[in-house]
């Protein structure tokens, strides 16, 4: 029995030694691969930047060719175009996307993902930066911007069909929990539930298009504090707001409005629900108002 136990312990130690050696070799290969890719990219940058009449390239992976970022880095045009400096086939697009989505969706670190996707830590972080830059480059001009007159006309046509003429969106705030809040800031970014969070103010349309996002406040504030410092009504105060004309009950109005919850002030630009509806008309209005506010909540 003692011989059997001793033999099992030896086999266990041997397996652990082999596993550690395999991880060490893989880590060294990843580091060598990262160095080779960095040297090759630096050589290509210097070669492209040395052409006559062209300024030197700076930080290519952050300021690349705009919309071609995903195609250049994540999607190889052929099996031979995605080879590394040593001539071997590089990382697959599935590996890169899996690492990025794992980190963004679940808050995983690069050390937790490296063994799953068989990528080095530096490569994973570079892939994450490239992916975020590509998303920002592709969608900044379409999202997170003020609506143009054409967008506003489309919004007004849709909301008039839904029974709210003149509505240009729904406004709301939410607490975005900050998991890795620095210790020195935890007192400021603590909400009423004791959690560390940042407040996000959003205005969204019927198609959940977020055209206003304000995301810098500590979690100890509420919707009214955020509204007092938000730039959402700056164009109205400057007199540059778009002219929105609509008619309700034979009365013509010139200003658009937002659907809001009960905490917002009683301004003409906010249309809130009825707290305790009694009549059939009030109940119907409260049902529709609260239903359409699901756009910003989603």
* Residue 221 and residue 133 in contact, taking contact as beta carbons nearer than 8 Å: no
144 domain-assigned: no
Q: Are residues 133 and 229 in the same domain?
A: no
**pLDDT at site 60:** 41
Q: Are residues 251 and 168 in the same domain?
A: yes
Q: Are residues 125 and 7 in the same domain?
A: yes
267 domain-assigned: yes
Q: Are residues 289 and 166 in the same domain?
A: yes
DSSP state letter for 114: H
Predicted confidence pLDDT, tens digits, the chain (298 residues): 777 677 778 877 887 887 787 777 777 766 666 666 556 665 555 555 444 444 444 344 444 444 445 556 776 655 444 566 666 666 778 888 888 888 888 878 888 888 888 888 888 888 888 888 888 888 777 777 778 888 888 888 888 888 888 888 899 988 888 877 888 888 888 877 888 888 888 898 888 888 888 877 776 788 888 888 888 888 878 877 778 888 888 888 888 889 998 889 888 889 999 988 999 999 999 998 888 888 888 8
Q: Are residues 108 and 187 in the same domain?
A: no
Cα 42 from Cα 46, distance rounded (Å)? 6
Q: Which residue has the tokens 């301004």?
A: 267
Question: What is the number of structural domains in the chain?
Answer: 2
Q: Are residues 22 and 126 in the same domain?
A: yes
18 domain-assigned: yes
State which residues form the domain around 83: 2-139
- Which residue among 117, 139, 161 closes a domain? 139
- Which residue among 104, 139, 174 closes a domain? 139
107 domain-assigned: yes
Given its phi and psi angles, is residue 143 left (phi above 0), alpha (psi -120 to 50 degrees) or beta? beta
60 domain-assigned: yes
Q: What is the pTM of this model?
A: 0.58
- Which residue among 139, 157, 190 closes a domain? 139
Q: Are residues 24 and 127 in the same domain?
A: yes
Q: Are residues 180 and 211 in the same domain?
A: yes
Q: Residue 288: which of 172, 159, 171 has the closest Cα?
A: 159
């Amino acid at each position: 029995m003692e011989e059997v136990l001793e033999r099992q312990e030896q086999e266990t130690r041997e397996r652990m030694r082999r596993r550690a050696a395999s991880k060490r070799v893989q880590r060294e290969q990843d580091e060598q691969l990262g160095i080779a890719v960095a040297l090759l990219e630096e050589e290509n940058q210097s070669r492209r930047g040395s052409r006559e009449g062209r300024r030197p390239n700076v930080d290519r992976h952050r300021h690349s060719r705009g919309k071609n970022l995903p195609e250049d880095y994540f999607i190889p045009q052929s099996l031979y175009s995605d080879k590394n400096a040593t001539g071997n086939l590089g990382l697959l697009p599935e590996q890169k996307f899996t690492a990025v989505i794992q980190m963004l969706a679940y808050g995983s670190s690069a050390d937790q993902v490296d063994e799953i996707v068989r990528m080095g830590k530096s490569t994973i972080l570079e892939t994450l930066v490239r992916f975020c830059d590509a998303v920002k480059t592709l969608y900044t001009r379409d999202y997170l911007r003020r609506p143009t007159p054409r967008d506003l006309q489309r919004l007004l046509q849709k909301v008039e069909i839904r029974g709210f003429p003149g509505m240009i969106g729904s406004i709301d705030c939410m607490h975005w929990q900050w998991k890795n809040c620095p210790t020195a800031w935890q007192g400021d970014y603590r909400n009423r539930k004791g959690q560390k969070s940042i407040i996000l103010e959003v205005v969204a349309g019927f198609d959940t298009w977020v055209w206003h996002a304000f995301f810098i406040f500590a979690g100890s504030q509420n919707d009214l504090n955020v509204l007092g410092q938000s730039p959402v009504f700056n164009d109205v105060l400057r007199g540059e707001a778009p002219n929105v004309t609509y008619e309700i009950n034979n009365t013509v109005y010139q200003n658009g409005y937002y659907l809001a919850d009960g905490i917002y002030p009683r301004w003409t630009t906010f249309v809130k629900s009825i707290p305790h509806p009694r009549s059939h008309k009030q109940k119907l209005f409260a049902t529709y108002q609260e239903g359409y506010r699901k756009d910003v909540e989603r």
